[in-house]
Structure 1
Amino acid sequence: MHEDWLHDRAKDMRRSPSVQEKRLWSILRDRRLGDMKFRRQVVIGRYVADFVCMRHRLIVEADGPHHEGRIEHDAVRDAWLRSQNFTVLRFPNSQIENRGHEVIAAILAAAGKPLTG
């Protein structure tokens, strides 16, 4: 039952992404970045990850205002995801909005891909 709820939640999140999630998805979708295949709002265990590249075991999170005050929860979540051999990258909305080049560089570096200009 809990699993069904999580999948429904992920589907709802795909239908109503934040502005920053839309921006990231426009970069990550269709193998546009380093030929990596990303999926969005993916259920992993008891969590929903914003963007996941399974081949590189890479999770990209857009941290909006709902993450404020959830530092401990996010730390537990990230530790569990790391225990499943994922690398978790978190980017605050302000960085996605104002320093997208840093976000792109960090994602490529985490996947071991060269930064191309």
Structure 2
Amino acid sequence: MKILTHIRGNPIRKNRIENLPYNKKLKSLLSDKRKAGLLCEVLFWKQVHRGRFHQIDFDRQKIIGNYIVDFYVKSLGLAIEIDGWSHDFKQEYDIRRQRDLESYGVKVFRISNDDIKKSMEIVLRDLENFIMEHYGVREPDELSGAE
């Protein structure tokens, strides 16, 4: 088992998912989405890019299957979705989208625009907790590779 990083002293294991589906028809939308510079995405990006968040590498606007996720951590198989007011009217779509992503083995962490604007500190703490819960090493045997 390879350790990616440590969060609050807890080892975090790598969980890279190989061969994720990719809809190349969505590629033309990527640059426009990146250039749009939605405030909450930019605020979050400033906190996590270039390894600022526990030396973890985040990608913006990643195509997975028929979707473009806001952020993706390849080394964990983790998608981060920032939900604005428009998501209030797309609950069924969001549920289907999340199920599809999870069917590929991708975990999804959701954040609201309001949470980012009001308390980035809490958002980052919640993300740490999510990562520790889903990717943290639970048993000392896991570190040594013993069965």
Alignment TM-score, normalising by the size of structure 2? 0.71
With CA pairs under 8 Å and 6+ residues apart, which has the higher RCO, 1 or 2? 2
Provide structure 1 residue ranges, at least 5 long, that are not aligned to the other structure. none
Asked if 1:37 corresponds to 2:57, the answer is: yes
> Are residues 1:9 and 2:29 paired?
yes
Q: Distance in 2 between matches of 1:56 and 1:109?
A: 14
Matches of 1:5 and 1:65 in 2, distance apart?
26
Aligned sequence identity (%) = 26
Provide structure 2 residue ranges, at least 5 long, that are not aligned to the other structure: 1-22, 137-147
- Cα deviations by residue, 1:64-88 (Å, 9 ceiling, x for unpaired): 1221210000000001111111111
The runs of at least 4 aligned residues of structure 1 exceeding 4 Å deviation read none
User: Deviation at 1:4?
Assistant: 4.0
Q: What TM-score does the superposition give when structure 1 sets the normalisation length? A: 0.88
Identify the match of residue 18 of structure 1 among 38, 41, 58: 38
Report 1:54-73 matches (<5 A).
Answer: 54-73=74-93
| Matches of 2:126 and 2:107, distance apart in 1 | 12
Q: Deviations over 1:15-39 (max 9, x none)?
A: 1121100000001100110111000
Number of matched residues? 113
Which residue of structure 2 aligns with residue 81 of structure 1?
Answer: 101
Instruction: Tell me the secondary structure at the aligned position of residue 7 of structure 1.
Output: helix
CA deviations over 1:30-57 (Å, ceiling 9, x no partner): 0110111000000000000000001111
Q: 2:110 corresponds to which residue? A: 90
Question: What code does the residue aligned with 1:53 have?
Answer: V
Q: Who wins on radius of gyration, i.e. which is larger?
A: 2
Cα distance, 1:91 vs structure 2: 1.0
